Structures are given as structure tokens and as C-alpha cells.
Amino acid sequence: MKKFDTKVQYLKYKVLREVARHAWNDTLIEKVLDIPKTIVPGKTSTMRCCVYKERAILAERVKMAMGGDKENKNVIQVIDIACDECPAAGYEVTDSCRGCLAHRCEDVCKRGAISFDHNHVAHIDKSKCVECGMCAKVCPFSAIINRKRPCQLACKVKAISINEDNAASIDDSKCIQCGACVYQCPFGAITDRSYILDVIDLIKKSNHNQKYKVYVLVAPSISSQFSYAKLGQVITGLKELGFFTVIEAALGADMVAMKESKELAEKGFLTSSCCPAFVQFVKQQFPKLLEYVSHNLSPMAMLAKYIKDNDSNAKVVFIGPCTAKKAEAQLDSVKDYVDAVLTFEELQAMFDSKDIDITTLGEDVLDNASYFGRIFARSGGLTDAVKQALSEQNIDFNVNPVVCDGIEQCKIALLKKSKNVLDANFIEGMACIGGCIGGAGCLTHGEKSKTDVDKYGHEAYEKTIGDAISLLK
Amino acid sequence: MKITVCIGSSCHIKGSRQVVEQLQYLIAEKNLGDKIELGGTFCMGKCQKGVCVTINDEFYSVTPETVDEFFNTNVLAKVKQC
């Protein structure tokens, strides 16, 4: 029974769980300062130099679990005292250099940055080096390594730099809230702000869904999560937490597929708008291409709007794999529809904060969307759905898609489009590798995730997009 | 008159789409489109009794098999009173 990929996630979860537990019990204000000591008791440190530093960092994690620094608009924030100030010198020759005769490193370096001392050991002149990495590639002893910070390596949009205190620092004008750094930082020093208290407050004040109803939309990537239990048990668990009902966000994806395919045929060129990190990236780096981004709401917002249009007494919470969705929910175009966003990590903490062991629960059902809505969770799924929607609507349009798996591929496609050399008329832009199943808010990531999503897709009661959304008219 | 059909997960797999489609068909057949508003909702809290349907907030349990009978006995009778 593996709940998390890393111990950083586990630590974050423990903090969220304790914060949530006290919130349910109305004891948060009196107990909040005790939480770090509850998690790290005693006098022996287990993670850092001493328990006092551990607790100081935990206090910061408690703050993030309670919503983080409200002055800071970014949902992704650095806990500076948790940053271990990792080496960041770039390419360096290690003591594995044997001072060989071949000097492949020297020959391959176009900048002449490599020289040798009297022991024939290589040295890199940092004033000449451009970090191309060729020397490291050709060294037969693997003696040259790239010392880069995991956060900077993870951040493909280059939003992370090192500040004057040698800690990581996020450039908010470049950050797309994808959460890659959150997942990759080995010290858990970068983290996403949580709205877990907002959700608990919504549920409590609903007075058992009498005052208003709290709907929860669940992203289709849930099919690759909570693998220690059955999906039906997760649904029962959500209702035990106090949500009124559970709906597949994939139904919103079905709605999007229908509209987006029409928009594509009308405009002749389009990019998807489902992934908020991708949309944010276009806004920041390719503002001239913004007109090509689908004007449709995302599946989350589209379905939330439908619910609120039909039930004026509804509140909507979205649970998914995505940290960027937390930022999307703050947008002017979305904030009236979506009241709060949680990740799967946070959902696990919610369950355990109420001591709900989902493996002991009965199985409820979750079935609103079609196969095509469900496979939005993995790279290529959106494109398949758009093709299907064109054919279901008898629209004669030949889609020539470019499926961008991860923000680096998105960047290449957008760059080509900006220079008018892109051989495609549809860009599927997904910031995370693999699609949403690669999201930073997933409990676990793995090879099996895509298979899980496809399997879940095939289990859908409705096989076509038209049938899935026919009920909504 | 407002007829609401539950399209939540539980009712959906019990055939709410078939119920909705048949109601749409019957409403069109009897030319009652201007008198009956057909809508959906995601849960009525009575999942065991699905497919859950309400006529002006009055609850009925309908299945794809009983939808014709439901329409004839409940909908037509009430529409005439309107």
C-alpha cells in the first residue's frame, strides 16, 4: 500500500492532516502552535540539523496548509528556511578525472573552456563555459557532472533563480504554477498554498448541505490515484466528508470537446485551453498567440458554471492533480464558478483528518462522462476527443494536431507558430509530462497511470460524447 | 410545469439518459414543448429510488421501462389541470 512517491509528500500530508483535524474540531486557533511538535516530538532530529529547525520549518508548512502568505499572489511559494541552498555551480570536474591522454573534453569544447593542470587533470574556465554539457557527455569516466539545483532543473520555464541569501526564488512573472518544482525539490522547500481550510469551512457552514449544496468535481486522473482502494470507495469517502454529491469533471471535458471542435473548424487554427499552466505560459511568453487559445472555459470551469446556472444554491469544489488549477480558480473568468480547489494529496489528508479509512467503505458509483471526456487526463486524449467531436457533429474538418506532452514541447510548438512555420492546425498543450496524470498534486506517478486512465475511460457507461452531454440540454 | 430528471452518477447508470430522451420524444409528440420545462439535476438524495424524477417538486421513481406509463398517468393528467 503505497500512498506517496516521496517522503516530502508524506511530511506535507501530515501537516495538512493535522491542520484539517483541528479545523473540523474547531481547535485550530488554540492548537496551531502545537502542530510542529506533534509531528516532530522529542529531542532527536530526523530530517535536519536539530529538532528546532525542523519545527521552525514545520511552522512554515502549517502556514502554507492554512493558505500561505496572502500578500504573495502566487499559489507556489518558497519556504526559504527549508531551502538547503543546494550547489548550483553548473558543470564541474570531479575527482574522478584521471588525467587521461585523450582529452576528449578539451576537443569537444567549442569555447576553449577546458584546460589542464600539472597532473593533467581537467579544469573548466567558468568565464568561457556556456553549460552545453558536451564535455560531460564525452568523458569516459563520467568525471564531469552538472551541479544544478533540482528546482531549477524541474522548472522548464526558467522561473527559478537564486536570491542574495542563496535560497531559491520564484519569478512570478514567469511561473506558470505547474508545480514541477514542488514535486522535485528534495527538501520540500517549494510548496503550493492550500485551500483545505476553505473547503472544510464550506462543508461545515453548509449545515449538512441544507443551507447550500457543496458539489465536488473530481478530475479523471483520479483513476490513477488511491490505488490502494477502489474508486467507488473514494466516492463514498467524499460523501462521508460531507460533500453533497460527486460529479466527474470529465463531463465538463465532454462539453469542452464539443465546443472546442466547432471553434477549431470555424477559426482554422486553435490551441487547447484546458491546461491552466499552458494558458498562463502563452499569456506570459507568447502574448501575440493568445488569440488562438480556445475561448472555451476549462472542463472544470465549464461544468462548475453549468451546475451554478442550474442551482443558484450551489458551491463547487474541484479536486484534481493540479496546482495550476488553484490559480485558475482565482481568475476573474472562473472565480464565480469554482469556490475552492484541492489536490489529491490534500484529499488524502482530508480523509485521514476525519479518520475515514476508505478501504473499509462500500462502493458508490461515479459515472457522468464518456470515454473521451475521461481520457483528457492523459496526453493525446484531448486531441482524440476533439477528432471524435468533429465526427459526431458531422463537421468536415481535417485536424492536423500537434500533441505537446510537457511544457518544453509546448514551447517548441508555440515558437514555431509564432514564426509561422508550424505544420499543424491544432495544438494540444499540456504542461505536465504525460498530461494531468503527471500533475504535481498526484499522490503517486507511474508507468501504469496512462493504462489506468484508458481502462477507466472504457468503463464509462456512455461511449460517445454526444450521449454523455445529451442530458445537459 | 417543470419536470426535473436526476442525471447524477447513480441515476445515470440506471438509465436517466433513456428517461430524458423518451420524455423529450413524448413531449414533442404531444406538442407540449411550451407547457413543460424539462431540466436536469445532479442528485436528489434518493439514489436508491432512481431514476429520480420530480414534477414541480413532487417526487417520482421512474425507470426506462416505466417512463411511458409515468408520462401518461402523471404528466398528462397534471398538464391538463394547468
The maximal CA–CA distance of chain B, rounded, in angstroms, is: 33
**φ, ψ of residue A66 in degrees (nearest 5):** -90, 10
pLDDT of residue A2: 65
Say which residue the cell 476549462 belongs to: A298
Interface of A with B in 145-204 (CB under 8 A): none
User: Strands (DSSP E) along B1-82, which ranges?
Assistant: 2-6, 37-41, 52-55, 58-61
Grid cell listed for A451: 493504462
pLDDT of residue A473: 66
pLDDT of residue A70: 86
Question: Torsion over CA of A128, A134, A136 and A137, rounded to 10 degrees?
Answer: 180
ipTM above 0.95, yes or no: no
In a domain, B78, yes or no: no
Q: Is A470 on the interface with B (CB under 8 A)?
A: yes
In a domain, B79, yes or no: no
Look at A247 and B9 and tell me if their CB atoms are within 8 Å: yes
Q: Which of A239, A312, A471, A473 to mutate to test the interface with B (most CBs of B within 10 A)?
A: A471
Q: Which domain holds residue B51?
A: 2-73
Exposure string (b/e) for A75-89, b if CB count within 10 Å is 16 or more? bbbbbbebbbebeee
Interface of B with A in 2-21 (CB under 8 A): 5, 7-10, 12-13, 16-17, 20-21
Domains of chain A, start order? 1-66 (no CATH), 71-86+149-193 (3.30.70.20), 90-147 (3.30.70.20), 198-472 (no CATH)
Q: Is B51 on the interface with A (CB under 8 A)?
A: no
Residue B10: closest C-alpha in chain A = A365
Nearest CB to B7; choose among A235, A364, A471: A471
In a domain, B81, yes or no: no
The maximal CA–CA distance of chain A, rounded, in angstroms, is: 82
| pTM for the structure as a whole | 0.93
- The candidate with the shortest Cα–Cα distance to A11, out of A34, A43, A36, is A36
Nearest CB to B20; choose among A215, A307, A471: A471
pLDDT of residue A1: 53
Residues of chain A whose pLDDT is less than 70? 1-2, 473
In a domain, B80, yes or no: no
In a domain, B34, yes or no: yes
pLDDT of residue A320: 98
| Tens digits of residue pLDDT in B11-65 | 999 999 999 999 999 999 999 989 999 988 999 989 999 899 999 989 999 999 9
Q: Which residues of B touch A364 (CB under 8 A)?
A: 9-10
User: DSSP code of B73?
Assistant: I
pLDDT of residue B50: 83
pLDDT of residue A471: 76
Which CATH number goes with the domain that contains B67? 3.40.30.10
Query: Distance between alpha carbon A287 and the CA centroid of its chain, in Å?
Result: 23
Q: Is A392 on the interface with B (CB under 8 A)?
A: no
The answer to whether residues A299 and A252 touch, using CB atoms and an 8 Å cutoff, is yes
Count structural domains, chain B: 1
